Amino acid sequence: MKKTIFILTFSFFITPCFSQEDTAKTLDEVTVRSFEQNRHLKEITAAVNYIGQQQLARFNNTSILPALNNTSGVRMEERSPGSYRMNIRGSTLRSPFGVRNVKIYWNDLPLTDPGGNTYLNQLGYYNFNSIEIIKGPGSSLYGTGSGGVLLINGFPDKWNQGAEISYITGSYGLQNINAQVKLGNEEHPNIFSYTKQFSDGYRDHTHMRRDVVTWQTNIKANEKQELKVSVLYGDLYYQTPGALTKAEYDSNPRMARPKAGTLPSADQAQAAIYQKTFLAGLSNTFHISEALQNTTVLYGAFTYFKNPTFRAYEKRTEPHFGGRTFFKWNKNTGIGQLHFITGIEAQKGFFNTKTFVNANGRPGAVQTNDDLNNWTYFVFAQADLQLKKNWNISTGASINRSSVTITRLSVASFTPVKVSFSNQWAPRIAVSKKIISNTWLYASIAKGFSPPTVAELFPGTVAINTTLQPEEGTSYETGIKSSWLKNKLYAEVNIFSYRLKNAIVVRKDASNANYYVNAGGTRQKGMEAQTAYDFIDAPGHFITAARLTLSFTHNNFHYGDFKQGTTDFSGKRLPGASPNSFAAVLDIRSKPGLYAAVTYFYSDHIALNDANTFYAAPYQLLGMKIGWKKPIKQLLFNLFAGADNLYDEKYSLGNDINAAGDRYFNAAAGRNYYVGLNLQWNNQPKK
Ramachandran quadrant class, 511 (left: phi over 0; alpha: psi -120 to 50; beta: rest): alpha
Indicate whether 348 pLDDT > 80: yes
Query: Coil, helix or strand for 272?
Result: strand
* pLDDT of res. 11: 37
pLDDT at 499 over 80: yes
Confidence (pLDDT) at 685: 54
pLDDT of residue 460: 58
Q: Which residues contact 140 (CB under 8 A, 6 or more apart)?
A: 380, 382, 396, 397, 398, 426, 427, 428, 446, 447
pLDDT digits (tens, 9 = 90+) for 285-302: 999 999 999 999 999 999
Sign of the torsion formed by the C-alpha atoms of 51, 444, 108 and 348? positive
Choose among 314, 301, 319: nearest CA to 353.
Answer: 314
How far CA 375 is from CA of 98, 151, 329, 641, 649, in Å, comes to: 20, 22, 29, 47, 45
3-state class (DSSP) for residue 463: coil
pLDDT at 514 over 80: no
Helices (H) and strands (E) in the chain, counts: 7, 39
pLDDT in tens, 177-233: 999 999 999 889 999 999 999 999 999 999 999 999 999 999 988 889 999 999 999
Between residues 388 and 556, which one has the greater pLDDT? 556
Task: Determine the length of the chain.
Answer: 687
The pLDDT score that the predictor gives to residue 2 is 43
Rounded Cα–Cα distance for residues 675 and 382 (Å): 47
- pLDDT over threshold 70, residue 568: yes
Q: Does 5 have pLDDT greater than 70? A: no
Whole-structure pTM value: 0.94
**Domain-embedded: residue 380:** yes
Taking alpha carbons only, the member of 274, 177, 174 closest to residue 234 is 274
Gap between the Cα atoms of 562 and 576, Å rounded: 17
Report yes or no on 17 lying in a domain.
yes
Residues 351-372 pLDDT 10s: 999 999 999 999 999 999 999 9
Mean pLDDT of 573-595: 95
Give which of 452, 445, 510, 505 is closest to 475, Cα–Cα. Answer: 445
Q: Has residue 14 got a pLDDT over 50?
A: no
User: Counting Cβ atoms within 10 Å, is residue 316 exposed (0-12), middle (13-18) or buried (19+)?
Assistant: buried
Residue among 533, 525, 472, 523 at smallest CA distance from 494: 525
Give how far Cα 338 sits from Cα of 42, 330, 332, 396, Å: 19, 6, 6, 13
Query: What pLDDT, on the 0 to 100 scale, is given for residue 6?
Result: 40
Pick the more confident residue, 17 or 423. Answer: 423
Q: Does the pLDDT at position 627 exceed 80? A: yes
Q: Does the pLDDT of residue 513 top 90, yes or no?
A: no
The amino acid sitting at 605 is H
Could you tell me if 678 and 668 are in contact, meaning their C-beta atoms sit under 8 angstroms apart? Answer: no
Do residues 209 and 99 make contact, with C-beta atoms less than 8 angstroms apart? no
Reported as half-sphere exposure (CB side, CA atoms, 13 A), residue 577 has a value of 28
What's the mean pLDDT in 342-351? 97
- Number of domains composing the chain: 1
CA distances (Å), 594 to each of 53, 54, 227, 684, in order? 17, 15, 39, 24
| 531 has pLDDT over 90 | yes
Supply the pLDDT for residue 474: 93
662 bridge partner residues: none
Confidence of residue 505 (pLDDT cuts 50, 70, 90): confident
Question: Is pLDDT of 8 > 50?
Answer: no
Distances (CA, A) of 172 to 123, 125, 652: 21, 18, 17
pLDDT at 462: 63
The pLDDT of residue 459 is: 67
| Residues 6 or more apart in contact with residue 171 via CB below 8 angstroms | 669, 671, 672, 673, 674
Query: Residue 410 falls within a domain, yes or no?
Result: yes
What DSSP designation does 660 have? G
Q: Is there a domain that residue 313 lies in? A: yes
pLDDT at residue 467, rounded to an integer = 85
What's the rounded Cα separation, in Å, for the pair 473 and 522? 9
Q: Report how far residue 533's alpha carbon sits from residue 361's, in angstroms, rounded to the nearest whole number.
A: 53
CA 676 to CA 167: how far, in whole Å? 5
E strands within 124-187? Answer: 130-134, 149-153, 162-170, 174-185
Please report, as a single letter, which amino acid is at residue 498: Y
The answer to whether residue 687 is domain-embedded is no
**Domain CATH code at residue 411:** 2.40.170.20
300 part of a folded domain:
yes
Region 478-496 average pLDDT: 94
In the chain, the largest separation of any two C-alpha atoms, in whole Å, equals: 79
What distance in Å separates the CA atoms of residue 448 and residue 498, rounded to the nearest whole number? 9
Q: Which residue has the higher pLDDT, 212 or 412?
A: 212
Q: Which domain covers residue 554, as residue numbers?
A: 2-682
CA gap 78, 645 in Å, rounded: 15
Is residue 150 a contact partner of residue 64, using CB atoms and an 8 Å limit? no
- CB contact set of 141 (below 8 Å; sequence gap of 6+): 35, 36, 341, 380, 382, 396, 398, 428
- The pLDDT score that the predictor gives to residue 19 is 32
Angle, alpha carbons 395-399-402 (nearest 5°): 145
Whether 602 contacts 581, CB under 8 Å:
yes
Nearest Cα to Cα of residue 137 among 112, 110, 102? 102
Q: What is the pLDDT of residues 136-177, one digit of tens each?
A: 999 999 988 788 999 999 999 888 899 999 999 999 999 999
State the burial class of residue 639 (Cβ atoms within 10 Å of its Cβ: 0-12, 13-18, 19+): middle
Asked if the model's pLDDT at residue 7 lies above 50, the reply is no
- The values of phi and psi at residue 472, to 5°, are -155, 150
Higher pLDDT, 195 or 423: 195
Cα–Cα distance, 228 to 226 (Å, whole number): 7
Give yes or no for residue 280 having a pLDDT over 60. Answer: yes
Tell me how far apart the alpha carbons of residues 221 and 55 are, in angstroms, rounded to a whole number: 33
CB 139 within 8 A of CB 146: yes
Looking at every residue in the chain, the average pLDDT score rounds to: 90
